[in-house]
Amino acid sequence: MIKIKLEIKTLEMYKVVMFSEFKYKIKNLEEMKIFAKFISTKIKRNSKFIIFLKGNLGSGKTTFTRLLLNNFGISDKEFEGSPTFTIINEYPHNIFHIDLYRLVDKDELEYTGIYYYLSNMGLFIVEWPEILDISPNMLMRFEITKDSRRKVYVHR
Ligand SMILES: Nc1ncnc2c1ncn2[C@@H]1O[C@H](COP(=O)(O)OP(=O)(O)OP(=O)(O)O)[C@@H](O)[C@H]1O
Ligand SMILES: [Mg+2]
């Protein structure tokens, strides 16, 4: 009896760790830059690392990506902007910025060859990832507050 209780307790603790969510309040672009630098230290390179960026239009996903990639040697000038039309923007050192907003169904998704890209090593940052049938290493959800600050929820 005691043993079973202990097992359940352990399982609950495991769940808490698995679904831990952290909330960051970000006042302006300067703070977003600091936040992006912090997140860059949590990303494992030399493996496959997938980040999902969720949140409404204009909530800051592409801006965050630009600031994040600044920490991996990609300057603002080299940053190609939003891949809304190209779907995938590829950068040196196996870094991929993906935006699936425009895709309407899973057939079209397959057609982009995205799963081929995702089968390789690399850092994959995916905006509008809801259509993908994979799970990320990190999930971030962006929100705009009434005073146009940002809240970012991070699940790992
Ligand atoms: N703290 C902030 N963090 C991020 N962006 C901010 C912040 N404050 C203001 N902005 C502005 O908000 C806009 C965010 O646009 P961005 O393209 O990054 O959003 P998005 O989430 O990628 O939108 P979409 O869903 O259309 O791709 C930019 O113009 C940016 O300068
Ligand atoms: Mg965007």
Residue 65 alpha carbon, nearest atom of ligand 1:
18
In this structure, is residue 12 part of a structural domain?
no
**Dist. CA 45 → ligand 2 center (Å):** 23
The arithmetic mean of pLDDT across residues 124-134, rounded, is 96
Examine residue 8 and state whether it is found in any structural domain, yes or no.
no
Span 96-119, mean pLDDT? 93
Q: Which amino acid appears at position 37 of this protein?
A: K
The mean per-residue pLDDT over the stretch 24-45 comes to 94
- Computed over every residue of the chain, the mean pLDDT equals 89
Specify if 9 maps to a domain: no
Query: Considering the domain boundaries, does residue 6 fall inside one?
Result: no
**Based on the structure, what is the number of domains in the chain?**
1
pLDDT at 114 over 80: yes
Ligand 1 touching residue 47 (CB < 6 A): no
- pLDDT for 19 equals 55
Whether 57 is in the pocket of ligand 1, judged by its Cβ within 6 Å, is yes
- Name residue 52's beta-bridge partners: 126, 139
pLDDT at 3 over 70: no
Kindly tell me if the per-residue pLDDT of 5 is higher than 50.
Answer: no
- State which ligand 1 atom lies nearest to the alpha carbon of 26: 1
Q: Give the range of the structural domain holding residue 41, as residue numbers without chain letter.
A: 21-155
Specify if 3 maps to a domain: no
The answer as to whether 13 is a domain residue is no
Per-residue model confidence as pLDDT tens digits over 46-81: 899 999 999 999 999 999 999 999 999 999 999 999
Residue 7 belongs to a domain: no
SS3 labels along 140-154:
EEEEECCCCCEEEEE
Calculate mean pLDDT across residues 27-48: 94
Domain at 85, CATH number:
3.40.50.300
